[in-house]
C-alpha cells in the first residue's frame, strides 16, 4: 500500500506536492478549500497542470480529497443541506479535473433524529452529487468515532447506507482511530481479523478505497475522535505493525491525519515509522 498523508495546500493546490515529497509521503490527501468554511474557489488550470505534473514526477499514488467538515447531508435545515451538496459537487468536479481518485466525507450527525429518519435524504443527496459530477471519481463515506449522534460508527449502519445509496461510485474510507474509538479492535491480530470480517460482511472489503492511518489519544471504545501520532497512542506501534501486515489492506492507500511530532500535521517522522513497520511486516508499497 502507499503510505500517504494529508498535506496543506496553502499557496495553491500544486504546493501540496512539494510538501508531500519533503516528508516522504507516497500519496496525498488534501482539502480543496478551507475545511471550516463554505467558500470555494476552483484551482486555476495552471495549478491543476502543475499538480498533475508534480504528482506524476514524484510517482505519487492516488490523490484523494477530504471534504469540508461542515458537510452535513443529514441536516434538517434545507439551506445547510444545499450548501453541503454544492460543496461536495465542487470537490467532486475538482477531483475529476485533478485526476484524483475520490472524495472522502463524514456522514455527519443525524442531529438526534436517528439514522432511519435521515437515510432517505442522505441517499437522495448523494445521488444528486454523483449526477452533478459525472466521471470516474468515487465518493467515500468515512466511518465515525460515534461522537455527537454521528452516523456510521457501526459498520452495519455504514453498510446499510451504502446499500441504500447503491451506486457504482460509492466507496468507504476506514479511519483506524475512529474504528478503535467505536470499540473495534484494530490493534491485535485476531481483533483486526474479526474487525475486517465484520467490515466485509456489513459493507464489503471491495468498497474499501482508503485507510486513514491514525493512532488514538483515547482508549478503545471511548467514542471520542482524537488522533495521535503513530506509536504514541493506544493503538501503538505494534497495532500498526498488525494493520500494515494484514493482507486485506495490502492494496489500499493509507493517509496519515496525525497531529505531527511538532504539531504541524503529518510529518516525516510519522511516515518513517509507518514505512519501517511496513517493511518489517514484509508488505510492499
Q: Which residues bind Zn ion (CB under 5 A)?
A: 175, 212, 225, 257
From the CB of 6, what's the least distance to Zn ion, in Å? 8
14 versus 271: smaller Cβ distance to Zn ion = 271
66 versus 160: smaller Cβ distance to Zn ion = 66
Residue nearest to Zn ion (CB): 212
Choice among 154, 160, 169, 212 that is catalytic: 212
Choice among 14, 19, 91, 106 that is catalytic: 106
- Alpha-carbon gap, residue 185 to 172, rounded angstroms: 18
From the CB of 141, what's the least distance to Zn ion, in Å? 11
178 in catalytic set: yes
227 in catalytic set: yes
14 versus 175: smaller Cβ distance to Zn ion = 175
Whether residue 125 contacts residue 92, with contact meaning beta carbons closer than 8 Å, is answered with no
From the CB of 94, what's the least distance to Zn ion, in Å? 20
- Alpha-carbon gap, residue 129 to 283, rounded angstroms: 36
Choice among 6, 14, 26, 66 that is catalytic: 66
66 in catalytic set: yes
Choice among 26, 225, 228, 267 that is catalytic: 225
106 in catalytic set: yes
Strand segments, DSSP code E, in the chain are 3-6, 28-30, 64-66, 102-105, 138-142, 170-175, 208-213, 215-216, 227-228, 254-256
Structure-block grid coordinates of residue 224: 471520542
From the CB of 247, what's the least distance to Zn ion, in Å? 23
Q: Using CB atoms within 10 A of its CB, is residue 168 exposed (0-12), middle (13-18) or buried (19+)? A: exposed
14 versus 203: smaller Cβ distance to Zn ion = 203
CA angle 190, 196, 197 (to 5 degrees): 85
From the CB of 214, what's the least distance to Zn ion, in Å? 6
Choice among 14, 119, 142, 228 that is catalytic: 142
14 versus 273: smaller Cβ distance to Zn ion = 273
Which value, to the nearest 10 degrees, does the dihedral of the CA atoms of residues 16, 21, 25, 30 take?
0
156 in catalytic set: no
- Alpha-carbon gap, residue 257 to 227, rounded angstroms: 7
Whether residue 79 contacts residue 96, with contact meaning beta carbons closer than 8 Å, is answered with no
69 in catalytic set: yes
110 in catalytic set: no
Whether residue 160 contacts residue 203, with contact meaning beta carbons closer than 8 Å, is answered with no
36 in catalytic set: yes
Return the active site residues. 36, 66, 69, 106, 142, 175, 178, 212, 225, 227, 257
Amino acid at each position: 500500500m502507499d503510505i500517504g498523508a494529508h498535506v496543506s495546500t496553502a499557496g495553491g493546490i500544486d504546493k501540496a506536492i512539494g510538501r508531500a515529497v519533503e516528508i516522504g509521503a507516497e500519496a496525498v490527501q488534501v482539502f480543496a478549500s478551507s475545511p471550516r468554511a463554505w467558500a470555494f474557489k476552483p484551482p486555476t488550470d495552471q495549478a491543476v497542470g502543475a499538480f498533475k505534473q508534480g504528482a506524476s514526477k514524484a510517482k505519487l499514488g492516488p490523490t484523494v480529497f477530504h471534504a469540508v467538515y461542515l458537510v452535513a447531508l443529514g441536516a434538517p435545515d434545507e439551506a445547510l443541506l444545499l450548501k453541503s451538496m454544492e460543496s461536495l459537487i465542487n470537490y467532486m468536479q475538482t477531483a475529476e479535473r485533478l485526476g484524483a481518485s475520490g472524495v472522502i466525507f463524514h456522514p455527519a450527525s443525524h442531529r438526534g433524529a436517528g439514522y432511519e429518519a435521515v437515510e432517505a435524504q442522505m441517499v437522495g443527496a448523494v445521488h444528486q452529487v454523483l449526477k452533478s459530477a459525472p466521471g470516474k471519481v468515487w465518493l467515500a463515506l468515512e466511518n465515525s468515532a460515534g461522537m455527537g449522534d454521528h452516523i456510521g460508527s457501526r459498520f452495519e449502519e455504514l453498510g446499510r447506507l451504502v446499500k441504500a445509496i447503491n451506486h457504482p461510485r460509492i466507496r468507504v474510507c476506514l479511519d483506524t482511530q475512529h474504528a478503535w474509538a467505536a470499540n473495534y479492535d484494530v490493534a491485535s491480530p485476531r481483533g483486526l481479523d474479526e474487525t475486517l470480517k465484520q467490515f466485509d460482511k456489513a459493507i464489503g472489503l471491495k468498497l474499501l478505497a482508503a485507510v486513514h492511518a491514525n493512532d488514538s489519544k483515547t482508549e478503545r471504545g471511548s467514542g471520542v475522535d482524537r488522533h495521535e501520532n503513530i506509536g504514541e497512542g493506544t493503538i501503538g506501534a505494534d497495532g500498526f505493525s498488525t494493520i500494515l501486515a494484514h493482507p486485506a489492506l495490502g492494496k489500499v492507500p493509507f493517509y496519515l491525519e496525525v497531529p505531527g511530532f511538532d504539531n504541524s500535521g503529518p510529518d516525516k517522522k510519522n511516515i518513517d515509522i509507518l514505512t519501517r513497520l511496513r517493511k518489517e511486516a514484509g508488505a510492499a508499497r
